[in-house]
Amino acid sequence: MAAESLIEIREVTKTYGQGETAVHALRGVSLRVEAGEYVAVMGSSGSGKSTLMNILGCLDVPSRGEYWLDGSDVARLSEDQQALVRGRKIGFIFQSFNLIPRTTALANVELPLTYAHLRRGERRKRANRALELVGLADRTGHRPNELSGGQQQRVAIARALATGPRILLADEPTGNLDAHSTAEVLGMFDDLHADGRTIIVITHEHDVAARARRLVQVSDGRIVSDEVTR
Amino acid sequence: MSPRDLMGAALRGLTANKLRSLLTVLGVSIGVGAVIVLVAVGNGSGKAVQDRLEAMGTNLLTVSTTGGGGGFVRGQAGPANQQYSLTLDDAAALADKNLAPDISSVAPVMTSSGTATNGDTSYTVNQVIGTTPAYLPATNTPVQIGRSFTQADVDTSQRVILLGQTAATELFTRPASAVGQTIKLGAVDFTVLGVLASKDSTGFNDPNATAIVPITTLRATQAGYGALNQIVVQAAGQDRVDTAQAEVTQLLTARHQVPADETSPFRITNSAQILQTSQDTAATFTALLATVAAISLVVGGIGVTNIMLVTVTERTREIGIRKALGARRRTILGQFLIEATLLSLIGGAVGVGAALIVTRFQLAGVHPVLVPSSIGLALGVSAAVGLFFGSMPAHRAAGLRPIDALRHE
Ligand SMILES: Nc1ncnc2c1ncn2[C@@H]1O[C@H](COP(=O)(O)OP(=O)(O)OP(=O)(O)O)[C@@H](O)[C@H]1O
Ligand SMILES: [Mg+2]
C-alpha cells in the first residue's frame, strides 16, 4: 500500500440522513498528506471542511471510501484501537476550545496523558512543560472560566501537544481570537512545523492560510484546488 | 487509566455538582436507613411481645369454666353450672402422673379482693389469689424478698401472705421492710412471708397489685367454699403442651360427664399458642414495614438513575472531548459506573450510620432491635442499585460516537 503517505483518503463521501433530505457533505474526496506537511484547508461555510477533518481525526467514519492512516486501514480498526490512534497520533484543536469545564488547565492537559497510561509524576512533568511551552506556566491552576479566550486556546494547544502527536488537526483555531492571540497561535504552529509535525488547519482567514505551505480549497463537498503555496 | 485515576475522575465528577450529589445521597440514605430502622422496629416489637408472654410463664395452660352448657339463664345457679364447676379434686386428678403424664405441675386458683391494712395504712388489693406453691414457678412469679409458703402451710391453712410489689410499697413504703410484719386482710391477721418480684404489665391491670395466700386459708377466711376460678397447669415440656391440653380436656370431660354432643364448657388458654400467634403477627408486621422501606430504597435507586441520566446528558460534550483525547469505551463506562456506585454506597453508609443512631432510641414505644442481616442487605441492595441503575446511562454515554458526543448541545 501507499505506506509512504502519513494520511491518505480515497474517494471519501459522507452523507447525512437518507432519501429526500440527505445532505452530501463530502462527494468523493481524495487527499494525500505527507509527514511534516503544513496544510491549510479553505472553503465557504457548509462546504464540508469540518466533516473532512472529523474523518481525518477518526472522530467520524466516512459513508464510503478508504482512509489509510500511517499505513493502516482505519475502517478495520476496532473502536478501542481508534481511541488509541486519537490519543497517540493525533492532537485536536477546536474553534470552541473544548476544554473540560470546572477542571484546571493542568488537569485538562494531563487528560490525554492519563488515557495514554502515563504514570502520575511523568504526566505532571509533561503537562507542566506543555503549558510552559504555550506561555501559561503561571495559569496551571486556573479553570477554563477563569481564562481568556486566547488563553483557553493555548491550553487546548498544550493539551493537543502533550502526548507529542505526529499530526495536529486544527478546525478554525483562531476563529474566536483577536489579532494578537492569532499571531501567537500561528507562531506556535510555525514552531511545530519546524519541529517536523504534520499540521492541517481549517480556516476562513487568508493570512492564516498564508502561513501554511499548501492550500486545499473545498467547495460543496469536493476539493476544487490543491496547490503548494510556498 | 489506573483505578486511582478512574476514582479521581469519578470524585471530580461528583464534586462538580455538590448539591445534586448530596440530594441523591440523601435519597439513597433515607431508603437504606428506613429499611434498617423499620426492620429493627418490627423485630423489637416482636421481641417485646415475646418477652412479655414469656414473663407470664411458658408451657402454661389456664383452665377455666365457661359457666355451663346452653339452656340455662345466665347467673342462675343451675345444676349444670355446678356440674361443670372446677374443684380441688379436679386439680388433684390433673396432678396425677398416671392420668396425665404430660403435666408437670398443677395449681388451683381462687381469687377475691379485699382491703389490706398495716396499722393506719390501708390498701385495696384488687386480686387476692388463693393457690398452692406450684403456682409461683408455673406462672413465672418468683419471690424477690423473703420466701414462699409451703405445701404444709396450705395443708394447715396458715395465715401467711405474699405481697406484690405495688401492694408491698403501698403498705410498707419500702417493700423489704414488709417481710415478717403482720397485716390485716379483711378482719384476719396475716404474716407477710415474702414480696414478689416486679412483673411487666401485660394488659391494663397492674400485675404487681396482688397478694397470694394459701388456697385453703383464702377459702376459710375470705372466699368461702365455692368453685375454683382457674386451674393453672404446666406442661412437662414445650413440645408437650398440646398433649397436655388434650389430657386436660379428656380428664375434665370424663370427670364432669359432659355429653359428647355438647361444646366443651371448659376454656383452656394455651400460652404457647398465644406466643405463636403473636410471633406470627409480629413477623407480618415486620414484613409490612420492610416492604414499605424497600419501596423507599427503590425510589432512592430511581433517584440515582435520574441523576446519572441528567449527568450523562449534561456532560455528553465532555464525553466527546474525552473520547477525542483517546478515552476508551470502558474508561468512560468505568468513570460513570463508579460515580453511580459511589453515590449509592455513600448514601448507604450514611443510611446505616443514621439507622445505628436512630435505633438507639425508643421509637413508637418500641425498643428497636437491629437485625444484622438487614444492614448487609440494605448496603448490598444500594450498591446493586447504583450499579444496575447507573449502568444504563453510563452505557449510553460510553457507546456514543465521538463526533455525536462533541456535537451535542
Ligand atoms: N450531523 C449532521 N447532520 C446533518 N447534516 C450535517 C451534519 N454535520 C454537517 N452537516 C452538513 O454537512 C455540510 C458540511 O458541514 P461542515 O460542518 O463540514 O461544513 P464546514 O465546511 O465546516 O462549514 P463551516 O465553515 O461553517 O464550519 C453542511 O451542509 C452541514 O449542514
Ligand atoms: Mg466547520
In angstroms, the CA A71 to CA A89 distance is 13
Q: Identify whether the C-beta of residue A80 lies closer than 8 Å to the C-beta of residue B328.
A: yes
- Ligand 2 mean position to B397 CA, how many Å? 24
Give per-residue pLDDT as tens, B44-67: 888 887 777 777 667 888 888 875
What is the least distance, in Å, from the CA of B404 to any CA of chain A? 8
Could you tell me the pLDDT band of residue B72, with boundaries at 50, 70 and 90? very low
Report the relative pairing of strands B103-118 and B188-196 from DSSP bridges: unpaired
The answer to whether residue B77 scores a pLDDT higher than 50 is no
What pLDDT was estimated at residue B206?
77
How do beta strands B160-163 and B210-214 pair? antiparallel
- Predicted local confidence at residue B134, as pLDDT: 87
> Half-sphere exposure of residue B241, counting CA atoms within 13 Å on the CB side?
18
In A, minimum Cα distance to B405 occurs at: A59
Angle of CA points B374, B38, B356, to nearest 5°: 65
Question: How far apart (Å, rounded) are the C-alpha atoms in residues B11 and B5?
Answer: 10
pLDDT 10s digits, A1-59 = 445 689 999 999 999 988 888 999 999 999 999 999 999 999 999 999 999 999 999 99
Q: DSSP alpha helices (H): ranges in B87-238?
A: 88-94, 135-138, 151-155, 165-172, 215-218
Cell numbers at B304, concatenated: 440515582
Angle at A163 between CA A201 and CA A146, to 5 degrees: 75
| 3-state SS, residue A89 | helix
List, for residues B265-321, the tens digit of each pLDDT value: 888 888 777 777 877 887 888 888 888 888 887 887 787 788 878 888 888 888 899
Instruction: Please report the pLDDT score of residue A12 as a whole number.
Output: 95
Residue B70 pLDDT greater than 50, yes or no: no
Question: Is the four-CA dihedral B34, B37, B40, B44 of positive or negative sign?
Answer: negative
Judged against a pLDDT cut of 80, whether residue B2 lies above it is answered with no
Mean pLDDT lowest for which of A7-21, A25-39, A62-76, B231-245?
B231-245
Query: Which of B38, B71, B131, B79 shows the shortest CA–CA distance to B355?
Result: B38
Residue A44 CB less than 6 A away from ligand 1: no
Q: Residue B263 is inside which H or E element, if any?
A: none
Q: Which of B77, B33, B19 is nearest to B310 (CA)?
A: B19
Which of A84-93, B164-173, B376-385 holds the top average pLDDT? A84-93
Residue A139 pLDDT > 50:
yes
Angle (nearest 5°) at CA A184 between A180 and A187: 135
Mutate to test the interface with A, among B18, B21, B319, B325 (most CBs of A within 10 A): B325
CA distance A113 to B247: 86
In chain A, positions 191-230, which contact chain B (CB-CB < 8 Å)? none
Find the mean pLDDT for residues B242-250.
86
Measured between beta carbons, which residues in chain B are less than 8 angstroms from residue A110?
Answer: none
pLDDT the model gives residue B203: 59
Residue keyed to cell 424497600: B294
All three cell numbers of A140, joined, read 496551571
Decide if B406 and A103 are in contact by the 8 Å CB cutoff. Answer: no
Residues of chain B neighbouring A58 (CB-CB closer than 8 A): 402
Residue A46 CB less than 6 A away from ligand 1: yes
